[in-house]
Structure 1
Amino acid sequence: MAEVKKIRVGFIGCGGHSSATLQPNAHMVEQIDIVAMCDLDAAKARRAAERWNVKACYTDTNVMLKEQQLDAVIVCGPPMMMQPMTKEMLGRGLHVFTEKPPAVSAALVKELVDASEKSGKFGMVATHWRHATPYAKARDIIAKPEFGQPSHCQGWFYAPGPTGPLWGGNAIEGYLWAQGVHLVDCTRALMGDVVAVQADVRGDEKSFDSGSVSLKFKSGATGVLSLVARACYWTGHRVFGTAGGFVEVQNGRELRCALPPFWTGEKGVDYLNQSFQTWNSSPFIPGYAGLGYMQELQQFASCILDGKQPVASLKDGYEAMRVLEAIRDSAASKKMITL
């Protein structure tokens, strides 16, 4: 049996999200060998190392890089920490997997794109929705000739929060950076580049309740995004095709679709009795693993081993941040923003 090739990875940031999500999923990816844990809080680094049987833990990245021969790092923390850390690690010759958002402005993400191009190492952004199996299946369905060209997309993200200022930004920016980034990135993965945005929100700099966004895509397709705070968690997309195709993903786990030819009766298409094909993730898949977290880390490792560029790249992160800024600016100006 052939030996599995692995990449040597160090974690930078061992807080709540890193411990609850990224570390467990990285541990399940056979191409990843976690060799070091690093956090400014020595207790967090030590707990993470003990939990995953990692021999080395650090509070200083310089010491970690001096003592360990790494292929890549996984950076997880607030964006004010991740942007300079990602930039530094790229400059030191390492591939970087960074949590979202990689920074709090498009200009700062562009610095990471430039650093990646200069170093020859890639960065990948942890916008995990697009990697979830239902979304991969949805893209395959959209690509079928019988679906037609994607003509319209509806996307939604309802969540309990955040509802107030976050990461140095106001309440509207906080929700967009923390939650809206997933919706925008996955919408781009399904529909392509956004060229115009018109947005309206209920909220202000101190409090965010909801927002509605109209999109125009480079392809000519249209879209609508719905963002709601102070709500139960519910996410998803619906995409419609010019030939009558339809596909929907809910909560990153459930998919349903319909493709022509449709059932017809004596008077033509029987709209009331239209049937859908459905697919659901296995209930035996561990919680976060079913939402694309493990798949994105698998791609990160595979791209390093195969010398390929990942999707959800730093360039994707830059384009997503441009859309988020356009949403913010359109909501403030009450005008359409072109990109």
Structure 2
Amino acid sequence: MAEVKKARIAFVGCGGHATHSLFPAVHQIPEMELVAVCDLREELAQRNARWFGAQHWYTDVATMLAKEELDGVVIVGPPQMHYEVGKQCLDAGLPIFVEKPSALSYALARDLAEHADRKGLWGAVAYMKRFAVGYELAKQIARREEEFGQVTVVEIRFSNGPYPAIWGISRAAEAFLIGQAVHLFNLARYFGGEVEEVYARLHEVEENRFGYAINLRFASGALGILNLNALESPTWKIHERMALTGVDCWLEVEDMLRLRYRPRGEPIAEPHIGGRNQWIEWQPDWTEILRVHAAGCFGYMGELQNFARSCLGQETPRSTLWDGAKDLQVAEAVWRSAQTGEVVSLSDRT
């Protein structure tokens, strides 16, 4: 059997999300070799090198870039770090994988994407939902134009517990758009295409308890309806549902794990009794649920494997730095619309 070519990858950032959701997937990816880890806190860098088998650990990015022969760098931290360390790695001639959001604003995210272009490089943004099995199945179905028809409506409902003001953003409701809702804007764009117009209303119950009702118009003419809120649970519990309307058919995905699809035809011929309620359903069995924390259903393994393969020239990134910028552009348009009560055209915000 031919030996699998491996991308030599370093991680910058050994905090909670990286340690619990990303690092555990590394050893399940044949195309990835963990060469080095870096964190400002020496004890975290040492710990993750020991736990996950990195050859070397560092507390300074410049030193790591000077000493190691790398094919790419994974950067996981606050958005200011994604932007600054991302540029530093691009200047060293390396492609990057950054967590979402790729920067603190659309302007900075766009600058990071342009910087990569000027260097003749690229970057990926960690939108793991594009790799979640429920959404991958939904994408397969939606691509079958003769069967599903065009996507006419994208509907997303997302809730978590109370959301704080973070990263120097003064309002929790605005921080939610930058730090959390970009996931859902990226998902909406993945299925609906580019967004042209946004109309949003915001209802704030308390400082960190609020809900958004958001209407989108896509360039294709399709519509988006988003209910994004921090109201449905007193603690950090996330519920997520996406539904796609086609032509004479629909599908829905719940919590990235369960898919239900009603096709145009009847999978099983039935007597004509005045209704049609047949659908196809998929959900993981318990053996797959056991392994979904850092791989499988939720997409963490998939996004890192796509990065490694892209570093080797075997694939292209499924979510790029430009995607990260466009999602922040939508987030800022939602905030502006919610504050002014106006429909916001994204063509006015280039």
CA distance in 1, matches of 2:272, 2:291: 45
> Do residues 288 (structure 1) and 302 (structure 2) align?
no
State the SS of the aligned residue for 1:150. coil
Q: Give per-residue Cα distances to partners, 1:58-115, cap 9 Å, x unaligned.
A: 0011111121101111001111111111111112101100001011111000111111
Give 2:240's aligned residue.
235
In the TM superposition, 1:40-51 aligns within 5 A as: 40-51=40-51
Q: What is the match of residue 225 of structure 1? A: 226
Instruction: Indicate if the aligned counterparts of 1:246 and 1:257 stay in contact, CA closer than 8 A.
Output: yes
SS in structure 2 at match of 1:287: coil
SS of residue paired to 1:117: helix
Q: 1:199, 1:159 → 2: CA distance?
A: 19
What SS does the aligned partner of 2:312 have? helix
What pairs with 1:85-164 in structure 2 (closer than 5 Å)?
Answer: 85-144=85-144, 145-162=146-163, 164=164
Q: Report SS of the residue matched to 2:157.
A: strand
Q: CA deviation at 1:132?
A: 0.9
**Residue pair 1:166, 1:173 contacting (<8 A) in 2 also:** no
Q: Distance in 2 between matches of 1:206 and 1:55?
A: 45
Match of 2:333 among 323, 326, 331: 326
Matched, 1:55 2:62: no
Query: How far apart are residue 156 of structure 1 and its match?
Result: 1.5
Q: How many residues align?
A: 334
Q: CA-to-partner distance for each residue in 1:295-325, whole Å, 9 max, x for gaps? A: 1111111112126431210111111111111
Where structure 2 has 5 or more consecutive residues not aligned to the other structure, the ranges are: none
Report the CA distance between 1:286 and its aligned residue. Answer: 3.3
Distance 1:53 1:153 in 2: 42
Could you tell me how far apart the structure 2 residues matched to 1:126 and 1:7 are? 18
Matched, 1:313 2:320: yes
Identity of aligned residues (%): 34
Deviation at 1:137, TM superposition (A): 1.1
Contact 1:127/1:181 (<8 A) preserved = no
Deviations 1:314-339 (A, max 9, x none): 11111111111111100000111111
- Cα-to-partner distance string for 1:2-53 (whole Å, 9 max, x where unaligned): 0010011111010111111111112321111001010000000000001012
What is aligned with 2:190? 189
* TM-score, normalised by the number of residues in structure 2: 0.91
Q: 1:27 to 1:205 in 2, by over 3 A?
A: farther
Q: Residue in 2 aligned with 1:247?
A: 251
Q: Is the 8 A contact 1:122 1:309 kept in 2?
A: no
Distance 1:10 1:266, change over 3 A: closer
Normalising to structure 1: TM-score of the pair? 0.94
Partner of 1:200 in structure 2?
201
Hey, what's the Cα distance between the residues in 2 that align with 1:295 and 1:35? 20
**Equivalent residue of 1:166, what SS?**
coil
Distance between the aligned counterparts of 1:208 and 1:115, measured in 2? 37
Amino acid at match of 2:311: I
Tell me the equivalent position of 2:80. Answer: 80
In 2: Cα distance, 1:68 partner to 1:41 partner: 20
Preserved contact between residue 171 and residue 205 of structure 1 (Cα < 8 Å): no
Counterparts of 2:62 and 2:323 in 1: how far apart (Å)?
29
Q: Classify the secondary structure of the residue corresponding to 1:190.
A: helix
Higher mean Cα deviation, 257-266 or 52-61? 257-266
**Does the 8 A contact of 1:166 with 1:174 survive in 2?**
yes
Q: Which residue of 1 aligns with 2:280?
A: 277
- The CA RMSD over aligned residues, in Å, is 1.6
2:306 and 2:315 in contact (8 A); partners too: no
Instruction: Give the conservation status (yes or no) of the 8 Å contact 1:171–1:204.
Output: no
Q: Take 2:292 and 2:185, find their aligned partners in 1: how far apart are those partners?
A: 26
Alpha-carbon distance, 1:218 to partner? 0.6
8 Å CA contact retained: 2:151, 2:222: yes
Deviations for 1:120-144, whole angstroms, at most 9, x for unmatched residues? Answer: 2211000111111111110111121
Matching residue's letter, 1:196: E
Partner of 1:25: 25
Note the alpha carbon deviations across 1:265-291, whole angstroms, 9 max, x for none.
5475x14xx022111133233323120
3-state secondary structure, aligned to 1:294 = helix
Whether contact under 8 Å (2:124, 2:320) holds in the other structure is: yes
One-letter code aligned to 1:312: S
Give secondary structure in 1 for the equivalent of 2:118.
Answer: helix
Deviates more, 1:259-268 or 1:39-48: 259-268
User: Structure 1 pair 122/211, CA: closer, same or farther in 2 (3 Å)?
Assistant: same
Q: Where does structure 1 lack aligned partners over 5 or more consecutive residues? A: none
Higher mean C-alpha deviation, range 100-109 or range 254-263: 254-263
